[in-house]
Amino acid sequence: MILVLIKSIFTNSSGILFSRILGFVRDLLTASILGANIYSDIFFVAFKLPNLFRRIFAEGAFTQAFIPAYAKSIHKIQFSSAIFMSFFAFIMLLSLVVTLFSKAVTQIIALGFDEKTVDLAAPLLAINFYYLPLIFVVTFMAALLQYKHHFATTAFSTALLNLALIGALIISKDMGKHDITYYMSYGVLLGGLLQVFVHIIAIRVNNLSKIFSFKKMQMAQKRFYKSFMGATVGSSTAHISAFLDTWLASFLISGSISYLYYANRVFQLPLALFAIATTTALFPMIAKAIKNNNEEKALHLMRKSTLILSSLLLVSSLIGIFFNQFIVELLFERGEFLSSDTSNTAIILSMYLIGLVPFGIAKIFSLWLYAHEKQFLAAKISIKALTFNIVFSLILIKPYGAAGLAFASTISGFVLFYLTIKEFGLKKFLILMKSV
């Protein structure tokens, strides 16, 4: 089982690394062509909301609630089809509402924007939001594939989004900056369509095509929705934190939103490459072990994963902090992205990286709660961590600006780690780590 886990982690890491390399090429081109200014800010704001929901679905609530419920379901086809149809209908309705009220939604997301800037960003938000129903279809199919221990398609498919955006940037590079943001927005939709396409192929190859049935599964659905509501809160708080950073940064000097975005992109590389790759591979195994009342097996898998992950994240954070200026300069400093932008982004990167290890380890031990369907308990922990983030963001934004917002996020990561370990059992955690 350990070999299967390592193979799955390697598959996820390889796919994520490939996608993130293309993502950095995308960011390099974005920084070079758009720079860090009002136009980059309005695109990042427009993409922020659908990307927030994407991360909640793809890396959090849906998968964490769906896989344990799917594992326990006797009528898996009926259960999965009922969940798919209800969620897809809701997301399409939500997308239409955002389209109709895009200006109002934009004002909420970036309260510090003036009316002219809101008018520029609102149409982009309406376009970008239709990425959400596409990525839900991807996430649903990915959860089915993960249950069958097939990770490659999902891990590598994010590269398609980055390729679409790279193509959009190359095609529009000689156009006006506002026109470029439109090309990028339509590139987001093209990337989503390509991701859906490759997942449909994987579903057919893995004989999972028969996912639709119109029989009702009320008891199973009720259990899933109850878990999903808790998991949504628990999984979304980290992304709400990043969303809060964007909202508060809209009150700071122009470019602050972009500094936070670029720094967070670098921070997300080791987090995704190691922590998300590990937990994605680990969760179906833990869920099945708990379902079969084999907690010893689940703890053994968590122990090995924690040792590997903590070592990788610690090395990554130290390298990132000591070479922050060099990393940002190498990745972004060209074209419209100036040396002053590099210095501002590098400081913010260090503030994020201090919290890399606690964020990553908390992800592993939160799986224990999700596998036991304690989503509401995990949600309470996340809300407490988010509260710390909000308080320290308000305290630190005035003296330290965007760097203060990043450090407030790090503080919440330590709080999240402590509270998660406390619920898992501090004594049990220490015994587990001593036996490594």
Q: What pLDDT is stored for residue 428 in this prediction? A: 85
Please determine, for residue 44, whether its predicted confidence score (pLDDT) is greater than 70: yes
Confidence of residue 229 (pLDDT cuts 50, 70, 90): low
Q: Which distant-in-sequence residues (6+ apart) come within 8 Å of 151 by Cβ?
A: 8, 11, 12, 15, 145, 280, 281
Q: What is the mean pLDDT of residues 144-150?
A: 81
More confident of the two residues 345 and 371 = 345
Q: What pLDDT is stored for residue 322 in this prediction? A: 95
In tens, the pLDDT along 289-339 reads: 887 788 888 888 888 889 889 999 999 999 999 999 999 998 888 777 888
Question: How far apart are the C-alpha atoms of 310 and 361, rounded to whole Å?
Answer: 7
Q: What pLDDT is stored for residue 434 in this prediction? A: 75
Angle of the 131-147 helix axis to the 76-100 helix axis, nearest 10: 160
Please determine, for residue 233, whether its predicted confidence score (pLDDT) is greater than 70: no
pTM: predicted TM-score of the whole model, two decimal places:
0.70
Please determine, for residue 346, whether its predicted confidence score (pLDDT) is greater than 70: yes
More confident of the two residues 7 and 404 = 404
What are the two backbone dihedrals, phi and then psi, of residue 131, each rounded to the nearest 5 degrees?
-70, -30
Please determine, for residue 75, whether its predicted confidence score (pLDDT) is greater than 80: no
Residue 429 CB coordination number (10 Å): 17
Mean pLDDT comparison of 59-63, 219-223, 421-425, highest-scoring range: 421-425
Query: Which of 30, 358, 52 minimizes the C-alpha distance to 165?
Result: 30
Q: Based on the number of CB atoms within 10 Å of its own CB, is 366 exposed (0-12), middle (13-18) or buried (19 or more)? A: buried
Question: How far apart are the C-alpha atoms of 304 and 55, rounded to whole Å?
Answer: 26
320 neighbors 269 (Cβ within 8 angstroms): no
Please determine, for residue 24, whether its predicted confidence score (pLDDT) is greater than 60: yes
DSSP letter for 140, please: H
Q: What is the mean pLDDT of residues 83-97?
A: 86
Please determine, for residue 223, whether its predicted confidence score (pLDDT) is greater than 80: no
312 neighbors 270 (Cβ within 8 angstroms): yes
Confidence of residue 55 (pLDDT cuts 50, 70, 90): low
Pick the range with the lowest mean pLDDT from 59-68, 233-242, 269-278, 363-372: 233-242
Name residue 199's amino acid. Answer: H
Q: What pLDDT is stored for residue 311 in this prediction? A: 92
Q: Which distant-in-sequence residues (6+ apart) come within 8 Å of 415 by Cβ?
A: 384, 385, 388
Question: How far apart are the C-alpha atoms of 21 and 269, rounded to whole Å?
Answer: 9
In tens, the pLDDT along 326-338 reads: 999 988 887 778 8
pLDDT, mean over the chain:
82
Residue-wise burial string across 28-51, b where 16 or more C-beta atoms lie within 10 A, e elsewhere: bbbbbbbbbebbbbbbbbbbbbbb
Q: What is the mean pLDDT of residues 136-150?
A: 85
Question: How far apart are the C-alpha atoms of 365 and 385, rounded to whole Å?
Answer: 15
In tens, the pLDDT along 357-373 reads: 999 999 899 888 887 77
More confident of the two residues 217 and 190 = 190
Confidence of residue 404 (pLDDT cuts 50, 70, 90): very high
More confident of the two residues 72 and 367 = 367
Q: What pLDDT is stored for residue 125 in this prediction? A: 85
% the chain with pLDDT above 90: 23
